[in-house]
A and B are shown apart, each in its own frame.
Chain A
Amino acid sequence: DAGITQSPRYKITETGRQVTLMCHQTWSHSYMFWYRQDLGHGLRLIYYSAAADITDKGEVPDGYVVSRSKTENFPLTLESATRSQTSVYFCASIGTGLYEQYFGPGTRLTVT
């Protein structure tokens, strides 16, 4: 019973490279989210998805791309990584009803 998983857990990449962070959930939850967490900023929403093939921008979407071809997967791609994208990235999902979110363990990304 994995729930919601993220991979990789740690990633170091160079400026300008493309990198994809994976998120997979086993609950068939409709809503999925990507957040980044930085000191001094708290959790900020990058993108979210209400269902397969439905995605929308959050607070800080620039430099990121998402897709959701299957309900259980919600990958986040940094098209050309920059140092300012060094952060901890969390994926989350919501079932139905009261907007209670469940988070994956996070991916620590360092862009050098």
Chain B
Amino acid sequence: RKEVEQDPGPFNVPEGATVAFNCTYSNSASQSFFWYRQDCRKEPKLLMSVYSSGNEDGRFTAQLNRASQYISLLIRDSKLSDSATYLCVVNIGGGADGLTFGKGTHLIIQP
């Protein structure tokens, strides 16, 4: 089983819709969780950290489900500019070298 898994997509979603995707992780002791956004041919950029209580930043909501070992990202009222690849990152080892990236979910917002 891979340590951090994401559905690669693509998710094709009409503008204004709500979209959600998950990221599963294999190490139940994982402590830190993040979502990054990566535009084509650009560097990953931190979108949000994921806290145990869940957190929201504008149209974006991230949640952690420890029992089922996954994190989720919900995007409401999607914009054309949300089109990107979304990477989840899980710290599976506790130290800085334990930061493990999923392969990303490709999201396409259609007009």
Contacts and interface: CB of A to CB of B under 8 A. Distances in A.
Interface of A: 31, 33, 35, 40-45, 48, 50, 56, 58, 90, 94, 98-106
Interface SS majority for chain A: strand
11 contacts: A40-B103, A42-B101, A42-B103, A45-B97, A45-B99, A56-B97, A58-B97, A99-B32, A99-B34, A100-B34, A101-B99
Given A90-B43, A105-B43, A100 B104 contact: no
A94 B103 contact: no
Interface string B56-78: 00000000000000000000000
A99 B42 contact: no
B52 to A, nearest CB: 13
A98 B43 contact: no
A45 B102 CA distance: 12
Interface of B: 32, 34, 42-46, 49, 87, 89, 91, 96-97, 99, 101-104
A32 to B, nearest CB: 10
A18 to B, nearest CB: 25
Given A99-B91, A100-B49, A102-B46, A43 B101 contact: yes
Nearest to B89: A101
